[in-house]
Amino acid sequence: MKDGNTPILIPLGSMEQHGHHMPLHVDVLLPTEFARRVAERVGGLVAPAFTYGYKSQQKCGGGNHMPGTVSLEGQTLVHQLRDVIKEFARHGGRDFCIVNGHYENSWFINEAVDLALRELRWDGMANVKVVVLSYWDFVTQETIDKLYPDGFPGWAVEHGGVLETSLMLALYPRLVQLERAVDHPAATFPPYDVYPVKAEWTPASGTLSSPKHASREKGELMLSVCVDGIVQALRDEFNIKASGKRAAA
Ligand code: ZN
Ligand code: MN
């Protein structure tokens, strides 16, 4: 990576309750595997994943009160990610991709990237570029129509639902116990948050929509659509030809 031509992919997850049917580290496993598959096609390297993330929020992750959920304060996450980007830059890395698997991390990632780039500029490194993405944003409308023939409940209530469960069935079937999944209507929330959280707002299972219609086939479809989309984005942003070789600048 010394010449700066090797993209570094950094997966970010969380330790978060994901229903009775899945383990706590779903948000770590999924972006790590997306990063691995993308890295193979763009000649990149995958950094060790961030296994803890920002506090689970009730309307998109069930809430930080759920059993087993262990989170970082925003400032801690910002500083850890800022430090890691700067350290990889010190080793020569110039092109980075943050592969996020936990929605609540989003703004803290942006802050960490902003601080890292600012401090690297102070050190005279102005040519560092960071692509920040969440893998689910690469699911196309066409795919959503196929996956949710009865209507799409929205990404916010996908926590522990069809998307994550299907991906886990495709990649880590032994970590899914579908018979323990609870079938319930998608959670609905008022258009505001309350702290301390009202635990009764979160379905007792901890999932925000039902994983009942999850399947390995749906997971494989999402894997291929999202990996293709992320590969294309990185080729465009990092100027990489389909052969994996760099285009001349
Ligand atoms: Zn999740
Ligand atoms: Mn999450």
pLDDT in tens, 208-219: 999 999 999 999
Q: How far apart are CA 165 and CA 211, in angstroms?
A: 6
pTM: 0.96
Catalytic residue, chosen from 25, 33, 102, 158, is 102
Q: Which residue ranges in the chain fall short of pLDDT 70?
A: 244-245, 247-249
CATH class of 8-238: alpha beta
Q: How far is the CA of 56 from the centre of ligand 1 (A)?
A: 10
DSSP 4-50: S-S-EEEEE--B----TTS-TTHHHHHHHHHHHHHHHHHT-EEPPPB
Kindly name the residue from 27, 33, 95, 158 that is annotated as catalytic. Answer: 27
Structure tokens at 136: 């689910």
Q: Is 25 an annotated catalytic residue?
A: no
- Choose the catalytic residue: 33, 95, 104, 158: 104
Q: From the CA of 149, how far away is ligand 2's center (Å)?
A: 24
Cβ-Cβ contacts under 8 Å for 220 (sequence gap 6 or more):
170
The identity of residue 20, as a single letter, is H
**How far is Cα 185 from Cα 140, in angstroms, rounded to an integer?**
24
Predicted pLDDT of residue 247: 61
16 counts as catalytic: yes
- SS3 state at 173: helix
- The answer to whether residue 102 is catalytic is yes
pLDDT at 239: 94
Q: In the chain, what are the domain boundaries?
A: 8-238
**pLDDT digits 0-9 by tens, 136-166:** 999 999 999 999 988 899 998 999 999 999 9
DSSP annotation of 2: T
Catalytic (active site) residue 164:
yes
Cα–Cα dist 219/146, whole Å: 12
Ligand 2 centroid to Cα of residue 228, in Å, is: 23
